[in-house]
């Protein structure tokens, strides 16, 4: 991952001020064009909300503005002299958890917003749990609406303690709790005169200085094959995006699931043509040292090799209204391979407050559960903890084609085993 880019997702409960914070961040760092700011001012005035409803910067749908809530993720782009940001402003309502997961699945950092008057709500717990599951390693928490508690250090400390304990349980690598008033702008971009007892960074400063790249270095390069390119003269190259670790010319690779050993003889990147190596995130095509019948859905891997299996122990966030139980049939998409899948067993559901696994026969909407899945075809998988690309999958409804679950191979370390 390029270190000059930080992808962040806002998380937290409805009405704690996520969209207002993002609006404040964008307005105070002058990311909005004049006409966009004018449009937000006009929309605020038309609804009698005063001069400027900062949430309207990201709440761009008519229904969102009418109801004063965020329904789906808004992506905004910002740049300061030190860093570029892709901000995914996520909804807080429980019924839009699927949209929050969409925003957080590609994030390096979670920017959690907590109303200091309420502390951590169930939805905050759920979002932090999902962010941790998705492998977001860094957490910045705005302890928000400090103006409503007269800038009280005791109120801040109490919520900050609660957040820090939970973040520790969820094994975030870093956590920073910043007292803010997104509404008034305190400690978002500008340091606050109302909070003389706080000596830490503002939200902006924290984001600029946060470690980039969410991911512990994955072991072993992977190239899921997307497309076979026929070369003039009869040869073939295999196109895909590098995952895990850099891939190099001369690397000994194994074509999976077939198990054929070969080598990378040439490597071509989109941006620079023939190259000696390519980093994760780059689209490339490679030629192999031996004749193979590799095609879409196969995977080239450098040791340590992923495993080939038709049975997965997995952690699943379930988004559909109908329950998911043992015997349910779905389609599963993993890397570039799609295969029929069946739930063999439900091991339990994670209680987002206690992080304990509770016995359950089925997953209901927005549950996070532990499952065993069986697939019709071989999959080539790593644990999600080792590789975000080869460890992730989605489940798709066979009739409607809707994406109904986010799945991760393996179980998170932070859940407490069933009693």
Instruction: Find the angle CA(260)-CA(264)-CA(265) to the nearest 5 degrees.
Output: 125
Of 13-21, 70-78, 146-154, 302-310, the segment contacting other proteins by CB under 8 A is 70-78
Q: What letter would DSSP give residue 155? A: H
Among 85, 151, 198, 319, binds other proteins (CB under 8 A): 319
* Buried-exposed string 215-249: b where 16+ CB fall within 10 A, e elsewhere: beebebbbbbbbeeeeeeeeebbbbbbbbbbebeb
- Toward other proteins, which CB reaches closer, 11 or 120? 11
Sites for other proteins among residues 99-128 (CB under 8 A)? 99, 101-102, 105-106
Of 65-73, 185-193, 212-220, 373-381, the segment contacting other proteins by CB under 8 A is 65-73
Which residues, at least 6 apart from 17, have a Cβ–Cβ distance to it below 8 Å?
113, 115, 142, 144, 145, 182, 183
Of 121-129, 151-159, 164-172, 327-335, the segment contacting other proteins by CB under 8 A is 327-335
- Toward other proteins, which CB reaches closer, 105 or 192? 105
Give Dmax (Cα) for the chain. Answer: 75
- Taking the complex as a whole, the smallest distance from the CB of residue 223 to other proteins amounts, in Å, to 12
Q: Are 142 and 21 in contact (CB under 8 A)?
A: yes
Cα separation of 144 and 112, whole Å? 10
- Toward other proteins, which CB reaches closer, 252 or 402? 402
Q: Are 405 and 238 in contact (CB under 8 A)?
A: no
- What is the secondary structure of 191-210 as a DSSP string? PPSS-TT--S--HHHHHHHS
What distances in angstroms separate CA 66 from CA 11, 35, 229, 340, 388, one per listed residue? 22, 21, 50, 41, 38
Neighbours of 288 (CB within 10 A): 20
For residue 275, state whether it binds other proteins (rule: CB under 8 A). Answer: yes
For residue 173, state whether it binds other proteins (rule: CB under 8 A). Answer: no
Sites for other proteins among residues 17-36 (CB under 8 A)? 33-36
For residue 55, state whether it binds other proteins (rule: CB under 8 A). Answer: no
Among 406, 411, 412, 415, binds other proteins (CB under 8 A): 406
- Taking the complex as a whole, the smallest distance from the CB of residue 54 to other proteins amounts, in Å, to 14
Sites for other proteins among residues 78-97 (CB under 8 A)? 84, 86
* Omega of the bond leading into 304 within 30 degrees of 0 (cis): yes
Of 55-63, 145-153, 344-352, 360-368, the segment contacting other proteins by CB under 8 A is 55-63
- Kindly state the number of chain residues that form the binding site for other proteins, as judged by CB under 8 A: 69
Torsion of CA 247, 253, 255, 259, to 10 degrees: -150
For residue 276, state whether it binds other proteins (rule: CB under 8 A). Answer: yes
Of 21-29, 165-173, 354-362, 400-408, the segment contacting other proteins by CB under 8 A is 400-408
- Toward other proteins, which CB reaches closer, 279 or 308? 279
Cα separation of 184 and 187, whole Å? 9
- Toward other proteins, which CB reaches closer, 88 or 175? 88
For residue 232, state whether it binds other proteins (rule: CB under 8 A). Answer: yes
Q: Are 99 and 125 in contact (CB under 8 A)?
A: no
Sites for other proteins among residues 333-372 (CB under 8 A)? 333-334, 336, 338
Neighbours of 17 (CB within 10 A): 26
Q: What letter would DSSP give residue 302? A: P
Q: Which residues bind other proteins (CB under 8 A)?
A: 2, 4-5, 33-36, 39, 42-43, 46, 58, 60-63, 65, 71-77, 84, 86, 98-99, 101-102, 105-106, 226-227, 229-232, 239, 241, 269-276, 279, 281-283, 296, 319, 331, 333-334, 336, 338, 388-389, 392-394, 396, 401-403, 406
């Amino acid at each position: 991952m390029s270190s000059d880019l930080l992808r962040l997702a806002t998380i937290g409960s409805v009405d704690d001020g996520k969209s207002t914070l993002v609006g404040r961040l964008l307005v105070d760092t002058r990311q909005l064009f004049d006409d966009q700011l004018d449009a937000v001012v006009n929309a605020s005035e038309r609804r009698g909300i005063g001069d400027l409803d900062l949430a309207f910067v990201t709440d761009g749908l008519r229904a969102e503005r009418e109801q004063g809530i965020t329904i789906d993720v808004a992506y905004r782009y910002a740049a300061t002299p030190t860093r570029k940001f892709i901000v995914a402003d996520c909804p807080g309502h429980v019924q839009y958890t699927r949209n929050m997961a969409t925003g957080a699945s590609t994030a390096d950092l979670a920017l959690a917003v907590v109303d200091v008057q309420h502390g951590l709500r169930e939805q905050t717990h759920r979002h932090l749990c999902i962010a941790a599951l998705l492998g977001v390693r860094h957490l910045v928490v705005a302890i928000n609406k400090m103006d409503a508690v007269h800038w009280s250090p005791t109120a801040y400390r109490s919520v900050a303690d609660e957040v820090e304990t939970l973040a520790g349980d969820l094994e975030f690598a870093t956590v920073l709790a910043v007292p803010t008033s997104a509404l008034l702008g305190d400690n978002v971009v500008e340091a606050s005169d109302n909070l003389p007892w706080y000596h830490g960074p503002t939200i902006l400063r924290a984001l600029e200085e946060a470690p980039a790249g969410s991911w512990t270095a994955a072991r072993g390069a992977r190239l899921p094959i997307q497309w076979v390119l026929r070369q003039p003269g009869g040869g073939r190259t295999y196109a895909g995006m590098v995952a895990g670790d850099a891939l190099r010319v001369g690397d000994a690779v194994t074509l999976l699931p077939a198990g054929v050993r070969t080598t990378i003889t040439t490597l071509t990147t989109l941006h620079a043509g023939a190259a000696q190596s390519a980093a994760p995130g780059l689209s490339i095509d490679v030629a192999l040292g031996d004749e193979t019948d590799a095609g879409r859905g196969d995977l080239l891997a450098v040791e340590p090799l992923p495993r080939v299996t038709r049975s997965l122990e997995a952690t699943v966030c379930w988004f559909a209204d109908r329950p998911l139980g043992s015997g349910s049939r779905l389609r599963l998409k993993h890397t570039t391979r799609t295969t029929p899948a069946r739930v063999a067993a439900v091991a339990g559901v994670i209680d987002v407050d206690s992080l304990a696994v509770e016995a359950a026969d089925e997953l209901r909407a927005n549950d996070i559960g532990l499952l065993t899945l069986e697939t019709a075809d071989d999959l080539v998988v790593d644990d999600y903890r080792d590789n975000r690309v080869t460890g992730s999958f989605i489940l798709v409804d066979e009739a409607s084609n809707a994406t109904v679950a986010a799945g991760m191979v393996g179980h998170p370390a932070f859940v407490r085993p069933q009693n």
